[in-house]
């Protein structure tokens, strides 16, 4: 036989080498095209939120892939989500957080985020467990209460991405926005704790738990939330400090901001602390000082790069959410899905009513009926819940497929039903809209003098309120922080 020798080819085809990045880029390309198309037709873009369109597009792509068996990349894994896609969005939110508004309402936000999430988790979990005893979900699942609570802990957290996506479009007034959005950001700490707690408890088994475990879980809550925040603040100040010395190399200024806040996120994640809190507070802590340190051009770069990363990340998440829903091991249980959605909505409303009644006794500006309504209606669930449910180990918790399916159903319900109806409802109820504008010289001057005035009045009546604390911080800031960091 003549040895057939391959000559040097003119062209080779090697799709395998680039398959994954190629397909993913293609999807992102599709998502962006979809976005363009969506905004070209004003009728649709007025009626639906963008996130709905992206999920639908994802489902279509998923279906195409599923029936053609073209590729088997399952894009939205928990790791991809938590390590690559979540940080840009949260950094953007933290860096451009209206600090003053956020800290003015911090008490209320914390109450919603901490007490509200615990309330939702317990009530949803216990109600579902109680109903599961009646056999309403069929006898195929005999779920221990801990598994139910694990599920309810991930389903009860309000998702910052979904909230941002919907609320940026409807443009409600600042206070309402910061309440919903602040809650969705800060409840991450408690969600992470509850999730890991119930996961750990499930591994240990219901009957092996002793007092020590409960105490450890409560202690870990403080550690996760405060530790994450502290790491974020430290990295934020470090960033500010480093940018002091970048006068000669302006081009790398944005790099520091991005890389160091990402490091803050990863640093918190190393110890299973709350990465979201870490990167949020990193952004909040550094912003004032970095804007003074870096050039105006770098500021613009930071702004647009951050917005671009966050927007792309959000786009990809929603589309991947769509793609990931199409697979064949769904385990649909109508009663479970229906009741989960029902409990999520009902307990959210009850929780908000209760907590805002408590909050109102402390607040100058009361939360009125319309705000309560939007607060409870704005409790959207999203990709965080989905990513968390994917990380549940099937061997420990056999009901995981049902949980995944139910989570997807809840996410779809909140994003589609609540997302689509919230706009007309907000208009019907006459919720005040936000007005983004630059403050006039008069407003800036007089508002500043009012701050001093109010701080003074708080000193006189001997109350350590918001104005007093801000005044204290301002003094500390001008005396110690600013000279060090700027």
Stretch that binds other proteins, among 116-124, 225-233, 289-297, 452-460 (CB under 8 A): 452-460
Binding-site member from 456, 473, 480, 484 for other proteins (CB under 8 A): 456
Binding mask 309-348 for other proteins (x = CB under 8 A): ----------------------------------------
Helix, strand or coil for residue 44? helix
- Is residue 471 involved in binding other proteins (CB under 8 A)? yes
| CA 56/CA 35 separation, integer angstroms | 12
The least distance separating other proteins from the CB of residue 483, rounded to whole angstroms, comes to: 12
State the DSSP code for 10.
S
Q: What share of the chain is helix, strand, coil (3-state, %, to 5)?
A: 80, 0, 20
Nearer to other proteins, 166 or 431 (CB): 431
| CA 285/CA 267 separation, integer angstroms | 16
Within 10 A of 235 (CB to CB), how many other CB atoms are there?
A: 25
State the DSSP code for 455.
H
The least distance separating other proteins from the CB of residue 445, rounded to whole angstroms, comes to: 6
Nearer to other proteins, 182 or 379 (CB): 182
| CA 32/CA 311 separation, integer angstroms | 10
Binding-site member from 364, 428, 438, 483 for other proteins (CB under 8 A): 364
- Is residue 461 involved in binding other proteins (CB under 8 A)? yes
The least distance separating other proteins from the CB of residue 110, rounded to whole angstroms, comes to: 17
Sites for other proteins among residues 68-127 (CB under 8 A): none
- Is residue 292 involved in binding other proteins (CB under 8 A)? no
The least distance separating other proteins from the CB of residue 186, rounded to whole angstroms, comes to: 22
Q: Residues 43, 376, 399, CA angle at the centre, nearest 5°?
A: 95
- Is residue 458 involved in binding other proteins (CB under 8 A)? yes
Enumerate the H helices of 362-418 as residue ranges. Answer: 369-377, 383-390, 400-412
The least distance separating other proteins from the CB of residue 100, rounded to whole angstroms, comes to: 11
Under 8 Å CB-to-CB from 115, ≥6 apart: which residues?
355
| CA 135/CA 142 separation, integer angstroms | 9
- Is residue 484 involved in binding other proteins (CB under 8 A)? no
- Is residue 438 involved in binding other proteins (CB under 8 A)? no
- Is residue 357 involved in binding other proteins (CB under 8 A)? no
- Is residue 449 involved in binding other proteins (CB under 8 A)? yes
Binding-site member from 453, 473, 476, 484 for other proteins (CB under 8 A): 453
Stretch that binds other proteins, among 3-11, 132-140, 410-418, 441-449 (CB under 8 A): 441-449
- Is residue 433 involved in binding other proteins (CB under 8 A)? no
Nearer to other proteins, 259 or 450 (CB): 450
Tokens of 462: 């001997």
Nearer to other proteins, 36 or 441 (CB): 441
Enumerate the H helices of 244-295 as residue ranges. Answer: 253-270, 275-293
The least distance separating other proteins from the CB of residue 362, rounded to whole angstroms, comes to: 7
Binding-site member from 41, 424, 446, 473 for other proteins (CB under 8 A): 446
With CA atoms as reference, report the closest residue to 30 among 55, 57, 53. Answer: 57
- Is residue 441 involved in binding other proteins (CB under 8 A)? yes
Nearer to other proteins, 17 or 437 (CB): 437
Provide the CA 222 distance to its chain's centre, in angstroms.
20
- Is residue 358 involved in binding other proteins (CB under 8 A)? no
Under 8 Å CB-to-CB from 19, ≥6 apart: which residues?
71, 73
| CA 439/CA 472 separation, integer angstroms | 24
Binding mask 142-181 for other proteins (x = CB under 8 A): ----------------------------------------
Binding-site member from 96, 241, 258, 468 for other proteins (CB under 8 A): 468
Size of residue set near other proteins by CB under 8 A: 34
Helix, strand or coil for residue 172? strand
The least distance separating other proteins from the CB of residue 351, rounded to whole angstroms, comes to: 23
Enumerate the H helices of 326-382 as residue ranges. Answer: 334-360, 369-377
Upper half-sphere CA count for residue 371 (Cβ side, 13 Å) = 19
Integer distance in angstroms from the first to the last C-alpha of the chain? Answer: 79
Provide the CA 389 distance to its chain's centre, in angstroms.
15
Beta-ladder partners of 433 = 172
Binding residues for other proteins (CB under 8 A): 362-365, 435, 440-443, 445-463, 465, 467-468, 471-472, 475
């Amino acid at each position: 036989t003549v040895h057939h020798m391959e000559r040097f080819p003119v062209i080779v085809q090697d799709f395998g080498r680039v398959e994954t990045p190629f397909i993913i880029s293609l999807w992102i390309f599709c998502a962006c095209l979809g976005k363009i198309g969506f905004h070209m037709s004003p009728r649709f873009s007025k009626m639906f939120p963008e996130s709905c369109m992206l999920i639908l597009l994802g489902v279509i792509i998923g279906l195409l892939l599923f029936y053609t068996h073209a590729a088997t990349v399952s894009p939205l894994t928990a790791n991809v989500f938590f390590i690559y896609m979540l940080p840009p969005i949260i950094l953007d939110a933290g860096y451009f957080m209206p600090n003053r508004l956020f800290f003015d309402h911090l008490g209320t936000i914390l109450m919603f985020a901490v007490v509200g999430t615990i309330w939702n988790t317990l009530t949803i979990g216990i109600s579902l467990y109680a109903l599961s005893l009646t056999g309403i979900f069929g006898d195929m699942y005999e779920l221990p209460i801990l598994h139910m609570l694990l599920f309810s802990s991930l389903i009860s957290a309000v998702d910052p991405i979904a909230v941002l996506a919907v609320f940026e479009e409807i443009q409600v007034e600042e206070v309402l926005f910061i309440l919903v959005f602040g809650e969705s950001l800060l409840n991450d700490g408690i969600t992470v704790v509850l999730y890991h707690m119930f996961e750990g408890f499930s591994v240990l088994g219901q009957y092996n738990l002793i007092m020590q475990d409960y105490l450890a879980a409560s202690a870990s809550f403080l550690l996760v939330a405060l530790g994450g925040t502290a790491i974020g603040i430290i990295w934020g100040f470090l960033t500010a400090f480093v940018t002091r010395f970048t006068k000669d190399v302006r081009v790398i200024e944005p790099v520091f901001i991005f890389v160091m806040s990402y490091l803050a996120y990863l640093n918190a994640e190393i110890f299973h602390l709350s990465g979201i809190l870490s990167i949020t507070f990193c952004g909040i802590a550094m912003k004032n000082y970095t804007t003074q340190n870096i050039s105006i051009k770098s500021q613009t770069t930071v702004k647009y790069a951050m917005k671009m990363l966050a927007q792309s990340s959000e786009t990809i998440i929603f589309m991947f959410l769509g793609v990931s829903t199409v697979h064949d091991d769904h385990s649909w249980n109508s009663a479970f899905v229906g009741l989960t959605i029902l409990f999520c909505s009902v307990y959210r409303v009850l929780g908000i009513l209760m907590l805002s009644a408590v909050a109102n006794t402390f607040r100058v500006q009361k939360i009125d009926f319309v705000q309560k309504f939007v607060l409870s209606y704005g409790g959207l669930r999203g990709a965080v819940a989905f990513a968390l449910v994917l990380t549940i180990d099937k061997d420990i918790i056999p009901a995981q497929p049902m949980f995944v399916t139910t989570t997807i159903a809840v996410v779809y319900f909140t994003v589609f039903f609540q997302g689509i109806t919230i706009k007309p409802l907000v208009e019907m109820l006459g919720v005040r809209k936000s007005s983004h504008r630059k403050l006039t010289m008069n407003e800036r001057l007089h508002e500043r003098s009012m701050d001093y005035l109010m701080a003074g009045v708080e000193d006189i009546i001997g109350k350590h309120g918001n104005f007093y604390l801000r005044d204290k911080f301002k003094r500390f800031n001008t005396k110690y922080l600013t000279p060090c960091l700027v």
